[in-house]
Amino acid sequence: QKEVEQNSGPLSVPEGAIASLNCTYSDRGSQSFFWYRQYSGKSPELIMSIYSNGDKEDGRFTAQLNKASQYVSLLIRDSQPSDSATYLCAAPLRGKLIFGQGTELSVKP
């Protein structure tokens, strides 16, 4: 089992819909999780950090962490075409950041 796993997608949603991106992790000791957005040809950009169980909201983005289920998700409300990108989840482990393979999101106008 990979330490951090994501659905590879692509995930396609219509403009204005909610996009749901999911990530599971194997290390129960992981305490924090990060979501990055990577536009095609660009470097990853940190968009959300979450450190405790529950939800964290920032504008149209909500990160959800369930440590018991070892599951973290990112919801994007009112999706826009500009949200079309690859989304990476990551967890720190043994001095490194372990990244999932990324989920490609396409928002159709």
Binding region for other proteins (CB under 8 A): 31-32, 34, 42-46, 49, 88, 90, 92, 95-97, 99-102
- Cβ 32 to other proteins shortest distance, Å: 6
**Any idea which residue has 């504008």 for tokens?**
59
Q: How far is the CB of 55 from other proteins (least distance, A)?
A: 19
What φ, ψ does residue 81 adopt, rounded to 5°?
A: -55, -30
Closer to other proteins by CB, 29 or 109: give it: 29
- In the numeric block, which tokens belong to residue 26? 């194997």
Whichever of 95 and 109 has its CB closer to other proteins, that residue is 95
Shortest separation between residue 78's beta carbon and other proteins, angstroms: 25
DSSP, res 83: G
Nearer to other proteins by Cβ, of 39 and 54: the residue is 39
Nearer to other proteins, 73 or 87 (CB): 87
Gap between the Cα atoms of 71 and 4, Å rounded: 10
Please report which helix (H) or strand (E) contains residue 77, including its range: none
Three-state DSSP class for residue 82: helix
CA atoms of 10 and 62, how far apart (whole Å): 20
Q: Give min distance, CB of 96 to other proteins, in A.
A: 6
